Amino acid sequence: MRTQADNGGMRDDAPRASTDSDAAGWGRRVASMAVIAATGVAIIYVPQPIQPLVADEFGVSGVAASAATIAVQAGYAIGIVLLVSLGDRFSARSQVTVQLGVTAAALLAAAASPAYAVFVALCFVAGATATIGQLLVAAALKLAPPARRARTAAVLLGSFISGLFLVRTALGGIADLLGWRGALVVIAVVVAALIPLSLATSPPGKPVDPPRYAQILRTIPRVAASSPTLRLMTAIHALCFMTFITLWSMATLYAVDELGVSVGAAALLGLAGLTGGVLTILGAPLHARVGTRVALAICVGAVVTGAALILIAPTVLPLTALGLMLVSVGMSSEQVSTQPIGLGSVEPAQNGRANTVFMAAAFFAGAAATAVAAPLYAAGGFRAVAALALIAALTAASLAVVAARRGMLGVRRGGSSAESPASR
């Protein structure tokens, strides 16, 4: 039987994780968590498909309307720092359930916003409390049997991107029918409906002898400093995520302004991202088959190729859609490798703080990318945005090469071992 120490200082769930892994129970549980996590992540993309409608109603320019997109991403990043790190103190079940309720309330309030500044502030709040997916990923990776860890990560991360693009695609059509306020009400109801599912399936295990909250926050930099592997995996993912956000944050404006389609039709671009999410889940078995080094090279290569396609032919819709799909599947599949490696390089009791470092860096990078992409789009159109995305993707590829040379990506061909957590 696994001890509490083997389970990262958690209690209650070690026996269940073992039982679930022997049958379909673990798969059903992961699927339920994936639905909750995907909806939470989707919240940070809610302002994007309704951006032109919000801008029209409040009388702000299309570029200025990106403030809501920046706010929700910045809120998400700050929520990761202030809330996800609490995974080292509270059970995922209690924390996820409470945050679902607050997120639903913030979205309802945003639907009633009397002014654009209020809407932006409430998007920030909704983003901060929508960090439930990151809590569930960290908890699931602790509980997953080693043989199912990559599959678990792929299902959860693939569901993230599938969920966000389902919401993004549907939201444009709903907004055309009900207006952007009605669309937000629909999303709020969906989030609230997940509370019973969270109570039934989110991991209830609470850390044994957890550190105080102030100590958790104070030691986050120390956890990052303790592991070169965590820092490098974080940088690779942050740059891939920056590529992803740079392109998708301006995709609706691109479709409406440069292609001349409606908001509802522009939302159909989300099908490219949805395809990327599905491919992430379907491709999960390949990670173990080809090895981390090859898998990461393929994934980052897809991100680079997608950004390059859009830079070459931004006005050719099929190529743009293909590029967006490649960036989407590459980014989410890359995380299947980088996140477990990064979190596995620290002590199990520090997983929540390591996850805070990993994900907060990504979303701060995403918020910065959106802030830069908006004026870039105004100055040079979608081609200029794609140029920024390609620079970020190429930098990520360079760091992946560095990680491979430092032996951080698993066992090499020939039998030599990569860096272990103990050697960090």
| pLDDT grade for 423, boundaries at 50, 70 and 90 | very low
Q: Which residue has the higher pLDDT, 70 or 11?
A: 70
Which whole number is the average pLDDT over 178-185? 92
pLDDT at 63: 65
Those residues with Cβ within 8 angstroms of residue 8's Cβ, 6 or more apart along the chain or in another chain: 142, 207, 348, 349, 351
Say if 4 falls within a structural domain. no
d(CA 306, CA 308): 5
Give the CATH number of the domain where residue 131 resides: 1.20.1250.20
- Angle at Cα 150 formed by Cα 144 and Cα 155, nearest 5°? 85
- Dump pLDDT digits (tens) for 105-126: 999 999 999 999 999 999 999 9
- Six-digit token pair at 131? 């960090």
Residue 100 has pLDDT above 70, yes or no: yes
Among 70-74, 81-85, 236-240, 408-412, the minimum mean pLDDT is found in: 408-412
Judged by DSSP in three states, 328 sits in helix
Does residue 86 sit within a domain?
yes
Range of the domain at 95: 14-423
Cα–Cα nearest to 338, from 320, 358, 310, 323 = 358
Q: Provide the domain count of the chain.
A: 1
Task: Say what the pTM is.
Answer: 0.74
Alpha-carbon span 232 to 361, nearest angstrom? 11
- Quickly list H helices, 48-148: 51-58, 66-82, 92-111, 116-129, 132-143
**Domain contains 87:** yes
**Cα-atom radius of gyration of the chain, to the nearest Å?**
20
User: Does residue 277 form part of some domain?
Assistant: yes
Say what the pLDDT of residue 275 is.
83
Residue 406 pLDDT greater than 70, yes or no:
yes
**Averaged confidence pLDDT in the chain:** 81
